[in-house]
Amino acid sequence: MVSLTRKKTLSIIALSAMIGLLLMPIVMSIPAVASGGGESAGSPPPDAVKKEGAAPEQKVEKARDVYYKTEGIVVGAPAPKTTDGPKDYPRYNFESRVLLWFANQQHLYYGSFVLAVPIFCMVIEFIGVVTKDKAMAKKYDQLAYDFIKISLTAYSLTAILGGILIFTFLTLYPAFFGYLSSIFRPVMHIYALTFVAESGTLYIYYYGWDKMKEGLLKWIHLSMSVILNVIGTLLMMLANSWIGFMMSPAGVDEQGRFLGNIWHVLHTALWNPLNVHRILGNMAFGGGVVAAYAAYRFLSAKNDEERAHYDWMGYIAMSLGVAFLIPLPFAGYWLMREVYAYRQQMGITLMGGLLAWLFIIQATMIGILFLSTNYYLWQALGRMSGAERFQRYIKYFVFILVCGFLIFITPHTMVMTPAELKAMGGQQHPVLGNYGVMSAKNGGINVIITTTVLTFIWYQRGNKIPAVSWAKFGNIFMGCFFFMAYVNIIWLAVYGYYIPANVRVGLSVPQVATTLSCLFFMTALNLTMLKGAKEIGPIMWGKISVRSQYAIIMLATAFTWMMGLMGYIRSSVRLFWHVNEIMRDNSPWAYTHTVGFAANMISFNVLFFWVSIMFVFWLGTLGAKKAPVGAKAPVPGGAPAPAVGH
Amino acid sequence: MGKTILYVVVSLAISLAYFTLVDHFLMDMQGLDYWYLFRK
């Protein structure tokens, strides 16, 4: 007993020392950042400073921050004025932007995936630790381990792709990359160190799983996942600050000279909305990819036990992904609002101008995401005894979803030939054109999301009948609440047509609040009503249609497609600027691609990602025989199985 | 049956009041007038 305690104590000390060493570089760098980056970002190299220092007097020049409008001492060089040639834009016999696009997108896909999966692991491992049922706790633990195992190979690929990305920048855009790294010099260094800390923590977390599976050590292991995710989020936020700076620069004067305040450079107008949007997006994407992995394993499973396990895994991953998908459009809305607030013209280019058609494609993808989610849940009702009673209502749900979807994807203006324009009598269709405005579109998407919430609530009730004494009132209240929510969403959409634009723009907020009210209040009410509910039959994990698994794969592919599309839109909005209004892109590729070319390029990226991730999945199956959590965990459910997992 | 009608009426009243408050206050928080059309 004594020796066990000593062992534990030594383990804790060793672990703390290791984490301390991993975090030490970051802690040591903090004072440098606080003081504006030690050596000023954008400043000349130290030897040059020495030579200049020899001069008797140094002139102090002050300038005004382009965004914060504060005055600061100029400490950086101006943004280089590039010219098209081998000096600023060396190239192969290929479009450099496309090469960079590919490297960037692949790095981003894998980066998003490996940042999202540890968050899932943390949540699932925590559920496993607090679950009182030992068998279930073991299953959750095994599931969390399965998740992190997938991300580990992907992690190596992320690092490799990051290296490729940097080399692509250095080789093809040296002037731009030189300028960007001079501005971000202090945080670039921290970024690299954070990556080291992330890697170290991840490896300890993964390889320590078996050794730290019980008691206090398990809690330490769990807390390591928290550290892992804090570092991961920091990493992502630093990367976001670069794109935030490129879109909405701050901390520099109008010539692009750094003014000594690194916080201003990081905290640009779009940094926070980008952070929130990316965290949610990564989570939804990560959930989709893990669910696709489970679907792949389900489809290739050799026996019922495997099918049951991967059905359950797919359900959990999909649920987590969708949980983050639901608030994602609202985060996107916030980002767009901030874009409009920063530069109205930028917002118009995005949503009403050059890139507007890509937003129609985006709306289509969002619609597909929600339709696939609903379809999966309807299929999943099939594995529950007693859920048949809901089947006959599905057709009404389909009708509502399709109406919302069609309104959501209706374009405001069409790109047409003169003959088509004449035939239609204008740029807008006389009837359908009315649906192509934000008022209608907001109504459409909120109806879709509210219906998805309703589907999920029905899924939760699939094999259960509420047994609380107030069940009748609860059911009626829930029905009325949803009914009034639909009425309110549609009312606000219609009301928007009758009031001026400056008042109308605010209606989206109560619309969103209506949808979120359904999500939070009705899910809470449902869970309360289902406490001690009467079970009609068990959930038969693995007894689900093959179509449902293809819906999951569709969902994951749509996520990937949408990420590629939105990334392109966000990047393209800078038009011919490397750094918006500060550093002009003078390469031959400083133009906006056609929608067709962009769509092909995005699709190629999606295809490449999925082919490569299939390789990662395959690698994961090679080590599948080695179970880390003691004896092989029993299948969650099996066929038939205890009803768990809501 | 009578109880069901009562439940429906109460539920609808609560929901209607709730959403009206949401609409009013969330517009008000943005400095906008939810009742713009009716005041005109």
- pLDDT tens digit sequence for A508-565: 999 999 999 999 999 999 999 999 899 998 889 999 999 999 999 999 999 999 999 9
List of residues 6+ apart from A576 with CB closer than 8 A: A584, A585, A590, A591
Binned at pLDDT 50, 70 and 90, residue A21 comes out as low
Token representation of residue A192: 């690299």
Token representation of residue A307: 């099918």
List of residues 6+ apart from A24 with CB closer than 8 A: none
Question: Which of A479, A500, A514 is opposite residue B19, by nearest beta carbon?
Answer: A514
**Closest Cα of chain B to A341: distance in Å?**
14
Instruction: Note whether A492 and A511 are within 8 A (CB).
Output: yes
Question: Which of A476, A492, A498 is opposite residue B8, by nearest beta carbon?
Answer: A476
Put simply, the answer to whether A495 touches B37 (Cβ < 8 Å) is yes
Determine the average pLDDT of the residues in A139-154.
87
- Extract long-range pairs of B28-33: CB within 8 Å, 24+ residues apart: B29/A509, B30/A506, B30/A509, B32/A502, B32/A503, B32/A506, B33/A503
Put simply, the answer to whether A476 touches B19 (Cβ < 8 Å) is no
Does the structure's ipTM exceed the value 0.95?
Answer: yes
Put simply, the answer to whether B15 touches A483 (Cβ < 8 Å) is yes
Put simply, the answer to whether A510 touches B22 (Cβ < 8 Å) is yes
| Residue A446 with chain B: CB contacts under 8 Å | none
- pLDDT tens digit sequence for A389-405: 888 999 999 999 999 99
CA distance A421 to A432: 15
**Closest Cα of chain A to B35: distance in Å?**
10
Q: Check residue A152 and give its pLDDT.
A: 84
| Tally of CB atoms within 10 A around B39 | 7
Checking if the pLDDT of A471 tops 60, the result is yes
Put simply, the answer to whether A488 touches B37 (Cβ < 8 Å) is no
What does the domain layout of chain B look like in residue ranges?
Answer: 2-39
Of A171, A345, A151, A287, the C-alpha closest to A232 is A151
Q: Check residue A179 and give its pLDDT.
A: 95
Binned at pLDDT 50, 70 and 90, residue A24 comes out as low
